[in-house]
């Protein structure tokens, strides 16, 4: 596995690459969720590139940028074991200069739900993903369904800016007890981890209601909020695949989303119905 740290070197390395390139952008602290993205990329492409870049522009002031878990050596080993062909490992000054051109998230979809509590977060995500896609020029890029709003906005960017890349959505990986894998789970104490299970429990209960034909969003959300109590809930919402909130679940076109904090740790989860 080759490790490259500058965009110019990476572009030079890939400029004559004829094999199909699958790309998995990450911020490191790799877990089974990332491994699922890499496996999918390996299945569908002849050459797999992973990037590890803790992108400062998607963290707001006071968020966990400084304490975000860093596991560089373990991450390199995981990539190697997963058969990654090339690891892109830049530093912030390889990606950003001063007086930067940047992308703005759409005014509606970028500022609801996660975008409401983290107003410039998606500007940072879209800008870095655009830069990374331009550096790697992959045929396909892989993102987890757990970050459903991020996935939606990246797909929208690719469509609206007529970019030549296929965005592939990969299912959320969960612990045996249902907790969705996240690099932030390491912040949870044993008792907080137990509390956090209210999140997948609320989503399972919502799914059970839908299966019984109870499709009313208000009812489902009220039931979920009861299960989530006393977690600090940022939102519980039901949206369609365009990320517009809906009054009724429509099977095949709905996502039920939760963001709640356990202690200081913000956790996201969702279910696609």
Residue bearing tokens 């860093």: 70
> Which H helix or E strand runs over 214?
none
**Span interacting with ligand PAF, options 106-114, 121-129, 158-166, 236-244, rule CB under 6 A:** 121-129
Based on the shown chain and the rule CB under 6 A, indicate whether residue 114 belongs to the binding site for ligand PAF: no
Q: Tally the C-alpha atoms within 13 A of residue 217's C-alpha that lie toward its C-beta.
A: 18
- Let me know if 34 is a catalytic residue: yes
Minimum separation from the CB atom of position 182 to ligand PAF (A) = 10
Neighbours of 141 (CB within 10 A): 24
Based on the shown chain and the rule CB under 6 A, indicate whether residue 147 belongs to the binding site for ligand PAF: yes
Are 243 and 109 in contact by the 8 Å Cβ rule? The answer is yes
Name the token pair of 159.
């469509």
Based on the shown chain and the rule CB under 6 A, indicate whether residue 125 belongs to the binding site for ligand PAF: yes
Length of the chain: 273
The values of phi and psi at residue 166, to 5°, are -95, 130
Give the separation between CA 264 and CA 6, rounded to whole angstroms: 34
Nearer residue to ligand PAF within complex by CB, 150 or 202: 150
Based on the shown chain and the rule CB under 6 A, indicate whether residue 138 belongs to the binding site for ligand PAF: no
Minimum separation from the CB atom of position 141 to ligand PAF (A) = 9
Three-class DSSP category at 239: strand
Minimum separation from the CB atom of position 202 to ligand PAF (A) = 23
Binding characters for ligand PAF, 148-187, by CB under 6 A (x = yes): --x-------------------------------------
Kindly state the number of chain residues that form the binding site for ligand PAF, as judged by CB under 6 A.
10
Minimum separation from the CB atom of position 268 to ligand PAF (A) = 10
Give the separation between CA 169 and CA 161, rounded to whole angstroms: 19
Based on the shown chain and the rule CB under 6 A, indicate whether residue 25 belongs to the binding site for ligand PAF: yes
Site for ligand PAF in 61-80 (CB under 6 A): none
Ordered DSSP codes for 30-82: --HHHHHHHHHHHHH-SEEEEEE---GGGSPTTSTTTTS---HHHHHHHHHHT
Are 126 and 154 in contact by the 8 Å Cβ rule? The answer is yes
Which among 34, 109, 140, 198 is annotated as catalytic? 34
Which positions touch ligand PAF (CB under 6 A)?
25-27, 55, 58, 125, 128-129, 147, 150
Q: Which residues belong to the active site?
A: 34
């Amino acid at each position: 596995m080759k490790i490259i740290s500058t965009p110019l070197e990476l572009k030079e390395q890939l400029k004559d690459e004829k094999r199909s390139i699958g790309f998995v952008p990450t911020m490191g602290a790799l877990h089974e969720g990332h491994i699922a993205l890499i496996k999918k990329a390996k299945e569908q492409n002849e050459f797999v590139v992973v990037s590890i870049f803790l992108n400062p522009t998607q963290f707001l002031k006071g968020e966990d940028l400084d304490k975000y878990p860093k596991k560089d050596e373990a991450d390199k080993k995981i990539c190697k074991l997963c058969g990654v062909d090339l690891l892109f490992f830049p530093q912030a000054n390889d990606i950003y200069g001063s007086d930067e051109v940047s992308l703005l998230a759409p005014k509606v979809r970028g500022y609801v739900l996660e975008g409401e509590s983290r107003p410039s977060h998606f500007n940072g995500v879209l800008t870095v993903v655009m830069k990374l896609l331009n550096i790697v020029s992959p045929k396909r890029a892989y993102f987890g369904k757990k970050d459903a709003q991020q996935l939606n906005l990246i797909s929208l960017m690719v469509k609206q800016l007529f970019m030549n890349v296929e965005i592939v959505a990969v299912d959320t990986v969960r612990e045996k007890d249902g907790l969705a894998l996240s690099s932030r789970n390491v912040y949870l104490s044993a008792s907080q981890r137990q509390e956090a299970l209210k999140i997948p429990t609320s989503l399972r209960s919502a799914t059970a209601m839908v299966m019984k034909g109870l499709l009313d969003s208000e009812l489902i959300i009220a039931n979920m909020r009861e299960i989530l109590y006393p977690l600090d809930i940022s939102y519980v919402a039901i949206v369609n695949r365009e990320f517009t909130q809906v009054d009724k679940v429509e099977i095949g076109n709905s996502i039920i989303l939760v963001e709640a904090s356990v202690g200081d740790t913000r956790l996201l989860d969702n279910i696609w119905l």
